[in-house]
Chain A
């Protein structure tokens, strides 16, 4: 089975308008595989037929489901591990050294999917600075993912993906076939719906911003736009953490990067230029 050029073009345009994510040519397989569950639920013969029904009606909840299906990504606890080592080993100690009397830190976990990233941040901070208040704002474009994050319940398969066993027994309790996260950790995270093309969340400014594995989906101009918005809510001396294959280099030259372990952290260059 394959999809027509018209179907791909309609879906790519819809996703671009609603999320700014670019589905470039060659991603037809992605559109097909992500939309097949929706096709089955609608009891239609194929993706082309399903998309045809969407073309004939104004934007509705079903269009949002298409955007959701193509913009939500697999996630895991402590994804790539090294950013969390940088967080506890360099970022938090540096911020606290600069502000010894600080009683709290504000963190933004952007494009947080089903919550594993903000909760990983909360657990990591709990381990190294248990007495510090860490307020984490977790945002995503998908209402479905945010609801999952708020619930704080994860399947065994999800738990196995990167969560250290020690943290599992410390912060989770069995809830039937799932695991439920403790109120203590859940209480540190506030979830809200947010499109990265809109003005940043009002909970800022932030000391730390996680913007991981999302810039790669945007074109160059949108990446620069998103980084500019992120910069506007990052406190002076604050840190930005990107995905392992992402960088600010060549996109927004007001950032400087610092190698920590196997990864990089980013800060706004105080002079504004490099």
Chain B
């Protein structure tokens, strides 16, 4: 499995990448939505994108909407990973096409539980 971690914070990218690495994912990183979209358009295949909301150039919500509008990557699961935790924001992200939503701060087992829900991780990884 390959995951793309999209966040303008290098620290956050490193943390999420390390968690995903511990769960068996190969990871790549992008600093904003535009950079992530460029990686997808270059032909790189990812099973999962962990998407921060607030980023320069192209934010997470715009990225999710752009991916869904293109319909080129139906295998790509989109999970928002953000500090934005208001109910209305979660509704907007899901409506734009995000499959799941994790609010920072979160623990590795929380991330794992969401990946199990999404069918990207077997249940035994939760033990």
User: Residues of A with Cβ closer than 8 Å to B?
Assistant: 76-82, 156-157, 159-162, 164-166, 168-169, 172-174, 244, 262
Contact = CB atoms under 8 A, between A and B. Distances in A.
A166 B123 contact: no
A81 B94 contact: no
B117 interface: yes
B110 A161 contact: yes
Interface string B30-52: 00000000000000000000000
A166 B98 CA distance: 10
Contacts, number: 61
A147 B117 CA distance: 28
A165 B93 CA distance: 10
Contacts of B123: 80-82, 244, 262
B116 interface: yes
A78 to B, nearest CB: 7
Interface stretch (B6-14, B21-29, B101-109): B101-109
Contact of A162 (B85, B90, B117): B117
Contact of B94 (A76, A82, A166, A174): A166
Given A173-B87, A174-B86, A156 B116 contact: no
B103 A159 contact: yes
Interface string B84-127: 01110011011000101111011101100110110000010010
A109 B91 CA distance: 30
- Among A157, A162, A165, max chain B CB count under 10 A is at A165
Given A165-B90, A166-B94, A174-B87, A78 B105 contact: no
Contacts of B98: 165
A244 B126 CA distance: 11
Nearest to B126: A80
Contacts of B110: 157, 160-162
B85 A156 contact: yes
13 contacts: A76-B113, A79-B126, A81-B117, A156-B103, A156-B106, A157-B105, A160-B103, A160-B107, A162-B114, A165-B90, A165-B101, A168-B90, A174-B86
B8 to A, nearest CB: 21
